[in-house]
């Protein structure tokens, strides 16, 4: 079984269903538009901010504000890429064609990851430039310290969110179950627990918290995060690897 | 050639397939017959490496499924459940399968043509009727021009024209020397297409025989008699050592080919006969008897199956 053949096949699969187009377009549009809106709001509020807020004002991070919602579309993209196979019964046809389940999973995830990466990078750069345009005189430039890292990091973050979702969906198979776990995980648990002192230290190590550190250029005052931008991304990568390994092990063992 | 050896599958407590050992040979259509829930689909999924056997082994031309290089070029399958993404066009569905096994793109056009879906090649599968979906599944099975073909209940949901088409297709595939393994829960269907018969019930092998043998052994012949002088006739038959049984609607049945003998007896005793006809019990009856103990849920309906119901069908096959 040549892996190249399977990769070609997975590319045909992913480009021939509508869900790929609408989830990715939604991710692009929401991330950029919401980022621009919040950047424009920040600009008009800037004069009314406290001195401290002005010192720690992070124009780069502000322009990525749309990712909080845009990542939802990336989660749906990641979940559907995998769980479509199960909800439609296609998985049996697919595994009869490619009985090497490791090759099958690798090819599927590789294609979806590369596509996700291209879209995420483009989105991150667009969100940055358009966000900065909204920020007017408070804008950052790509040449400033740490900014390029943050913009590239934004693209990696969005991609990793999608890959994490693919791993979880491989474990859970059902699209509804996967979304029912991932969406609250990222939108409720992670943000609510982040405000509670007792759980704050745990939440820091959740994938979205740790991963989004890379998009910050100016850390907040009194920031005592125990990892840096790349360390945070590393933690997120570990989460993603765990989800992928879990998915692979279950796929290998289970009846299709 | 497909070889099963002690193939067993348990789902928790439930034994779906129980030590199946048989061989599916090339050049003929092998029918895989069993009532619903007998374990046919499970067996087929194990052949394709989709479900892992609890015990036993199955080999395709001597190899395990996952050892086949580009498996679709060795074995093609139509599975019971729909195996296509409804949002993908028929063409792209077949294209992605072809690509995964290094099958040239032109095969997609060829098989679409074979199954008669060319006109809807670019249409999404969700708009397909049951029959069209079945044809798409058959197209996928034929894609790699494989020597072995598996069909799980291929005529389910097809209209009469589609059923005829599938039967003809299976026979012609076998005539080309391919191995054709087709499941059904209908004896009548098998009688029309299969040359060899493997019967299972509750996961266990009940028969592995040629269709001709199965017919010879299982089609009981008997004589049906109607007479206005039933009581006297019964006496006469009894004296001649012939056992007659009453069959509901006032007719009598006598096992065996004794029509002439009974006619002569009646004439000698000046009895009036309204009917004296040699009959063959249907294969469907034979099948039901064979699997009677192994059917999971009996229907318990009072209506007896008319012997004529399938009795004529199979003779044509
Ligand atoms: N994935 C499964 N989990 C549990 N039980 C199953 C599963 N698949 C099949 N069975 C059971 O195994 C038996 C055989 O089913 P199946 O192979 O579909 O029969 P058939 O195709 O002959 O109708 C049935 O009792 C069915 O309920
Ligand atoms: Mg079945």
pLDDT tens per residue, range B152-210: 999 988 889 999 999 999 999 999 999 999 999 998 889 899 999 999 999 999 999 99
Q: Which residue puts its alpha carbon closest to atom 26 of ligand 1? A: B37
Q: Which residue puts its alpha carbon closest to atom 2 of ligand 1? A: B11
Q: Is the pLDDT of residue B282 over 80?
A: no
How many angstroms separate the first and last alpha carbons of chain A? 19
Residue among B12, B16, B48 to mutate when testing ligand 1 (max atoms within 8 A of CB)? B16
Neighbour tally for B21: CB within 10 Å: 13
Q: Is the pLDDT of residue B40 over 50?
A: yes
**pLDDT for position B288:** 79
Considering only CA atoms, which of A212, A211, A215, A210 is closest in space to residue A200? A210
- Quick check: B140 contacting A, CB < 8 Å? yes
Average pLDDT of every residue of chain A: 93
* Residue B266 in tokens: 């009646």
Which whole-number Å values give the CA distances from A148 to A42, A129, A144, A145, B233, in the listed order?
21, 11, 8, 8, 106
Say whether B89 and A16 touch across the interface (CB within 8 A).
yes
- Quick check: A250 contacting B, CB < 8 Å? no
Which residues pair with residue B255 across a beta bridge?
B222
Q: Which residue puts its alpha carbon closest to atom 8 of ligand 1? A: B42
Neighbour tally for A175: CB within 10 Å: 18
- Chain A nearest CA to B99, separation (Å): 5
Which whole-number Å values give the CA distances from A124 to A131, A187, A215, A218, in the listed order?
10, 20, 10, 18
Q: Which residue puts its alpha carbon closest to atom 25 of ligand 1? A: B37
Instruction: Find tokens 């050592």 and name the residue.
Output: B241
- Quick check: B105 contacting A, CB < 8 Å? no
Say whether B99 and A99 touch across the interface (CB within 8 A).
no
Say whether A5 and B96 touch across the interface (CB within 8 A).
no
Fold of B220-280: Alpha-Beta Plaits (3.30.70)
Q: Which candidate in A5, A97, A106, A256 is best for mutational testing of the B interface (most B CBs within 10 A)?
A: A97
Q: Which residue of A has its CA nearest to B99?
A: A9
Total domains, chain A: 1
**pLDDT for position A203:** 84
- Are the C-beta atoms of residues B144 and B172 closer than 8 Å to each other? no
- Are the C-beta atoms of residues B109 and B95 closer than 8 Å to each other? no
Residues with CB under 6 A from ligand 1: B 11, 14, 16, 34, 36-42
Torsion (CA) A131, A135, A136, A142 in degrees, nearest 10: -50
Q: Which residue of A has its CA nearest to B90?
A: A16
Domain containing residue A173: 3-253
**Domain limits, chain B:** 2-215, 220-280
Work out the average pLDDT over A153-171: 98
Q: Is the pLDDT of residue A80 over 70?
A: yes
Count residue pairs from A and B with Cβ separation < 8 A: 87
Pick from A5, A6, A17: which is nearest to B88 by CB? A17
Closest ligand to Cα B38: 1
* Alpha carbons B231 and B228: distance in angstroms, whole number: 9
* Alpha carbons B169 and A92: distance in angstroms, whole number: 23
Q: Which residue of B has its CA nearest to A256?
A: B50
- Chain B nearest CA to A37, separation (Å): 35
Entry pTM: 0.87
- Are the C-beta atoms of residues B281 and B311 closer than 8 Å to each other? yes
Q: Which residue puts its alpha carbon closest to atom 1 of ligand 1? A: B11
* Alpha carbons A34 and A25: distance in angstroms, whole number: 14
Closest ligand to Cα B200: 1
Backbone angles phi, psi at A97, to 5 degrees: -75, -35
CATH assignment of B2-215, given 3.90.230.10, 3.40.50.300, 3.40.50.970, 3.40.50.620?
A: 3.40.50.300
Provide the percentage of residues in chain A whose pLDDT is more than 90.
Answer: 81
Sign of CA dihedral B280, B283, B288, B289: positive
Backbone angles phi, psi at B215, to 5 degrees: -65, -50
- pLDDT tens by residue, B212-242: 888 877 777 889 999 999 889 999 999 988 8
């Amino acid at each position: 079984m040549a892996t190249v053949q399977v990769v070609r096949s997975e590319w045909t699969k992913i480009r021939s269903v509508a869900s790929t187009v609408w989830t990715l377009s939604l991710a692009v549009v929401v991330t950029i538009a919401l980022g621009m809106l919040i950047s424009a709001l920040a600009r008009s509020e800037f004069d009314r901010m406290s001195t401290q807020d002005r010192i720690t004002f992070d124009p780069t991070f502000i322009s990525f504000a749309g990712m909080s919602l845009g990542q939802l579309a990336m989660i749906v993209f990641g979940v559907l890429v995998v769980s479509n196979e199960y909800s439609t019964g296609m998985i049996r046809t697919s595994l009869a064609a490619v009985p090497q389940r490791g090759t099958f999973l690798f090819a599927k995830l590789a294609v979806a990851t590369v596509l996700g990466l291209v879209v995420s990078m483009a989105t991150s750069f667009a969100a940055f430039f358009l966000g900065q345009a909204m920020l007017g005189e408070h804008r950052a430039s790509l040449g400033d310290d740490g900014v390029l890292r943050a913009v590239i990091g934004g693209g990696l973050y969005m991609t990793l969110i999608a890959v994490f979702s693919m791993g979880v969906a491989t474990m859970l198979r059902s699209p509804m179950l996967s979304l029912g776990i991932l969406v609250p995980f990222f939108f409720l648990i992670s943000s609510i627990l982040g405000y509670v002192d007792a759980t704050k230290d745990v939440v820091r190590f959740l994938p979205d918290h740790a991963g989004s550190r890379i998009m910050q250029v100016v850390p907040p005052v009194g920031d005592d995060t125990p990892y840096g931008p790349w360390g945070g991304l590393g933690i997120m990568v570990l989460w993603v690897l765990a989800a992928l390994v879990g998915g692979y092990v279950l796929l290998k063992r289970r009846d299709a | 050639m497909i070889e099963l050896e002690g193939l067993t599958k348990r789902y928790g407590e439930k034994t779906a397939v129980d030590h199946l050992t048989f061989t599916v040979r090339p050049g003929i259509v092998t029918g895989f017959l069993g009532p619903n829930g007998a374990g046919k689909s499970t067996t087929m999924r194990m052949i394709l490496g989709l479900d892992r056997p609890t015990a036993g082994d199955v080999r395709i031309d001597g190899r395990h499924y996952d050892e086949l290089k580009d498996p679709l070029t060795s074995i093609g399958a139509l599975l019971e459940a729909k195996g296509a993404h409804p949002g993908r066009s028929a063409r792209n569905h077949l294209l992605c399968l072809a690509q995964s096994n290094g099958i040239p793109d032109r095969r997609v056009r060829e098989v679409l043509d074979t199954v008669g879906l060319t006109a809807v090649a670019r249409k999404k599968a969700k708009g397909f009727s049951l029959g069209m979906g079945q044809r798409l599944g058959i197209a996928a099975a034929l894609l790699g021009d494989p020597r072995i073909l598996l069909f799980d209940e291929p005529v389910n949901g097809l209209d009469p024209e589609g059923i005829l088409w599938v039967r003809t297709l299976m026979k012609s595939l076998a005539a080309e020397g391919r191995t054709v393994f087709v499941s059904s829960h209908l004896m009548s269907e098998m009688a029309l297409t299969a040359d060899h018969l493997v019967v299972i019930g509750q996961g266990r092998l009940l028969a592995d025989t040629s269709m001709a043998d199965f017919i010879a052994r299982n089609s009981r012949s008997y004589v049906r008699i109607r007479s206005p002088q039933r009581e006297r006739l019964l006496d006469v038959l009894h004296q001649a050592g012939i056992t007659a049984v009453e069959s509901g609607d006032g007719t009598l049945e006598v096992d065996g080919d004794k029509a002439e003998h009974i006619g002569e007896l009646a004439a000698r005793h000046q009895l009036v006969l309204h009917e004296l006809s040699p009959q063959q019990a249907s294969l469907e009856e034979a099948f039901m008897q064979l699997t009677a103990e192994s059917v999971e849920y009996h229907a318990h309906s009072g209506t007896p199956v008319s012997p004529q119901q399938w009795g004529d069908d199979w003779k044509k096959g």
